[in-house]
Structure 1
Amino acid sequence: MSYRQLLTPEEKLAEAKKLLSLPHIVVICGSTRFMTEMTEADLRETKAGKIVVKPGFDMKSPHGLWSDPVEAEALKVRLGELHRAKIRLADEVLVVGDSIGDSTRAEIAYARSLGKPVRFTHPDVDPE
């Protein structure tokens, strides 16, 4: 008697994306100080037929949603969790910018731990 091996959640997601004929999904990572470059990368990747997910905004710019320091810190934590979910959803990661900080370095390590391919707009900054 043969038993069908259960699929991992990652395998189920990949199969669902295939069944839905979803285009390749790329997540953009990098410092939010490179938001202009992220927008340009978004344009190029979208033009190439890919679904693009990226940071939604820059918390370094003043805004009422994060003017309270306690709320801002809680929001930062939630955004980090959301971005890791975007990495899990994506087929690959595109790192934008000519320098990499600790948060982006952690995102790259996370993506690689999941077996996600990682590309760089500036390959010389690859921490590997």
Structure 2
Amino acid sequence: MPERPEIVCICGSMRFTDDMRAVSQSLTLAGVIVLMPAEIDVPITDDQKAALGELHLRRIDVADRVVVVNRGEHFGESTMREIAYARAAGKPVTFASPAWGSL
């Protein structure tokens, strides 16, 4: 195992939470530190939503790379912003789905 495990930030629509969990599990079992969006199951304000979005960008800051989880559907505004942010920061961005079997 390397001196410091790789850190991966998972991005994607919260509609794919189950897929994100599956990708997180696979990466974790492979020895990767996984950062992903928090699952909030209560109503939140617009200010809280904005703050959570900024917090997720900080996750991207500390990650070595980003894995975007989706099912080949159109990316939402938040996910597009996260992809652009990661690329601007020089982070490798890959796309995955448990159904594809690729991470």
Name the TM tier (shorter chain): 0.7 to 0.9
List, as ranges, runs of 4+ consecutive aligned residues in structure 1 with deviation greater than 3 Å.
none
Structure 1: segments with no counterpart, 5+ residues: 1-17, 67-71, 123-128
Q: Which has the larger radius of gyration?
A: 1
Question: How many angstroms does 1:22 deviate by?
Answer: 2.2
For the aligned residues, what is the CA RMSD? 1.6
> Quick one: percent identity of the two aligned structures?
45
Match of 1:35 among 14, 17, 27: 17
TM-score for both structures, normalised by structure 1:
0.69
The structure whose residues are more often strand, as a share, is 2
* 1:84-103 → structure 2 map (5 Å cutoff): 84-98=57-71, 99=73, 100-103=75-78
Whole-angstrom distance in 2 between the partners of 1:73 and 1:105: 19
Structure 2: segments with no counterpart, 5+ residues: 98-103
Choose between structure 1 and 2 for higher RCO, CA contacts under 8 A separated by at least 6 residues. Answer: 2
TM-score for both structures, normalised by structure 2:
0.85
The structure whose residues are more often helix, as a share, is 1
How many residue pairs get matched? Answer: 94
Question: How many angstroms does 1:92 deviate by?
Answer: 0.3
